[in-house]
Each structure stands twice: as structure tokens, then as C-alpha cells.
């Protein structure tokens, strides 16, 4: 391993609440698939890091401004983002889906959104998807900085629906967040660990090498199972 990497403490930004990828446990510690993967990869590769839970859009902005070294936040690898960021190998397949209040029996398709407010999270693939269909289906988009506030807006009835990543909404619904999924998943991008374009190539290489080692050892699957196989 590399002497420079051993000295440096990388600053890695993440979302505030995006279970099962990053969220605070009862002790206030940040846990989840992203957090556990990062920890295991850092141990495997021998680098130090600090996590900064800034919120998704703020994390992406901070990376673009080179105020942080990397982002791990269920961040989708998109062609548009590849112009600004270098991504690791994909580590989780995702996609966007719509949810409504669990007691709402009126909305079961995009057609039913006509004239309604739809909640999205700033700077996300879900927001981009909602914006791409809002004229066609005649709804108004309202933005939130984090998923919890976006879900709350649907729960209180201010918004009729929201768009978020399928694995996150499915996990939340299973945990009883009061929402339900009524449409099919839209095809979406996979998640990757991101660094600013042309920066931190060494960190990116360590992430990829560590991810590959974790996959080979079975540790990667163990981390996924810990959060996704709830046993019920
Ligand atoms: N995967 C989505 C995106 O990259 C949302 C990420 C998030 O909200 N943390 O846009």
C-alpha cells in the first residue's frame, strides 16, 4: 500500500437519511449499506476517512466544489454526472418509483396526478424523472432537501405522491413509514462512489479494489443481507 494514502484522512460526504444506505441508529451513529461498505473497504485497503452527513444535494455540490474528497450516498451513476465526477464500479442496482399515502385509494397511475402536488428531493434522479413527466401528466413538483421531509409532505396530504429510489422506498414501506407503492419501477442507474473528475484517483482505485475483495470474500453479500433480509 501507499504511504500517502496512509497519512491522509479522506472526507466523505453522504446523505442525512436514506435507509437502508445511510441513516442514524439509536446511538446516533451513521449505519447502513453505504456506511458498512465504506468501513469494510477502508479496513481492507488501509485508508482513513471521516463521514460528513450533509444531505444529498449538498454532498454533491460540496464534491463539485472540491470541499470533500468523495460522496457515497446511494448516488446514481448517470451520464450527466459523469461529466463532473469519476465513479467507482457500480455496487447496487436501483431505479425510481412513486409512492402515495397508504390510505390513498385514488392514485394508482401517473394519470391520477393531474392538478396535484408531487414531492421530490432536490438534485436526485427521482426529481429529474418527475420533472420529465410533469407536463405530460399535469402535476406540480415541490422539492425537499431530504427523503424524510418529502415523505412527511405526502403523509400530511400536502403532496399526493412522491418519487424516490425503489430500494429506499421499498425498505421504508416495509418499516411502516405510512406510504405504499402503486406503480412499477422505472429503469434507473446503479449506485457508485464518486470523486471529483480527475481528482482522488488513488481513493477511487482503493474503493474498487476493496469492493472487489469484499465481493470475493462474501463480506459484500453479508452487508447487503444485514439490511435487506429482515427475516419477516
Ligand atoms: N440515487 C438518487 C440519485 O443519485 C438519489 C440519491 C439520494 O437521494 N441519496 O439521484
ipTM of this complex prediction, to 2 decimal places: 0.98
Whether 150 shows a pLDDT value over 70: the answer reads yes
Whether 135 shows a pLDDT value over 80: the answer reads yes
* Domains observed in the chain: 3-91+192-228 (3.40.190.10), 94-188 (3.40.190.10)
Whether 230 shows a pLDDT value over 80: the answer reads no
Q: What is the mean pLDDT of residues 26-51?
A: 97
Q: Is 81 in the pocket of ligand 1 (CB under 6 A)?
A: no
Per-residue pLDDT of 89-122, as tens digits, reads 999 999 999 999 999 999 999 999 999 999 999 9
Question: Which atom of ligand 1 lies closest to the CA of 81?
Answer: 4
Whether 46 shows a pLDDT value over 80: the answer reads yes
Q: Is 74 in the pocket of ligand 1 (CB under 6 A)?
A: yes
Mean pLDDT of the chain: 95
Q: Is 125 in the pocket of ligand 1 (CB under 6 A)?
A: yes
Query: Taking Cα atoms as reference points, which of 66, 29, 33 lies closest to residue 51?
Result: 29
3-class SS at 177?
coil
Q: How far apart are CA 92 and CA 89, in angstroms?
A: 10
Q: Could you tell me if 64 and 25 are in contact, meaning their C-beta atoms sit under 8 angstroms apart?
A: no
CA 95 to chain centre: 10
Choose one of 14, 35, 74, 132 to mutate for the ligand 1 pocket test, by most ligand atoms within 8 angstroms of C-beta: 74
Amino acid at each position: 500500500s501507499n504511504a500517502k494514502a496512509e497519512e491522509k484522512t479522506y472526507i466523505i460526504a453522504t446523505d442525512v437519511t436514506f435507509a437502508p444506505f445511510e441513516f442514524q441508529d439509536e446511538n446516533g451513529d451513521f449505519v447502513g449499506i453505504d456506511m458498512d461498505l465504506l468501513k469494510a473497504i477502508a479496513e481492507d485497503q488501509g485508508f482513513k476517512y471521516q463521514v460528513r452527513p450533509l444531505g444529498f444535494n449538498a454532498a454533491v455540490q460540496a464534491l463539485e466544489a472540491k470541499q470533500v474528497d468523495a460522496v457515497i450516498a446511494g448516488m446514481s451513476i448517470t451520464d450527466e454526472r459523469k461529466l463532473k465526477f469519476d465513479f467507482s464500479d457500480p455496487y447496487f442496482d436501483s431505479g425510481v418509483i412513486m409512492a402515495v399515502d397508504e390510505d390513498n385509494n385514488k392514485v394508482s397511475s401517473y394519470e391520477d396526478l393531474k392538478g396535484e402536488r408531487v414531492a421530490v428531493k432536490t438534485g436526485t434522479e427521482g426529481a429529474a424523472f418527475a420533472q420529465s413527466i410533469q407536463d405530460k401528466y399535469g402535476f406540480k413538483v415541490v422539492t425537499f432537501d431530504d427523503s424524510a421531509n418529502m415523505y412527511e409532505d405526502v403523509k400530511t396530504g400536502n403532496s399526493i405522491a412522491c418519487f424516490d429510489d425503489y430500494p429506499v422506498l421499498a425498505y421504508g414501506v416495509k418499516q411502516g413509514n405510512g406510504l405504499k407503492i402503486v406503480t412499477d419501477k422505472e429503469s434507473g442507474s446503479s449506485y457508485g462512489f464518486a470523486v471529483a473528475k480527475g481528482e482522488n484517483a488513488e481513493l477511487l482505485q482503493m474503493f474498487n479494489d476493496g469492493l472487489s475483495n469484499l465481493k470475493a470474500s462474501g463480506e459484500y453479500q453479508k452487508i447487503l443481507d444485514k439490511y435487506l433480509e429482515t427475516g419477516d
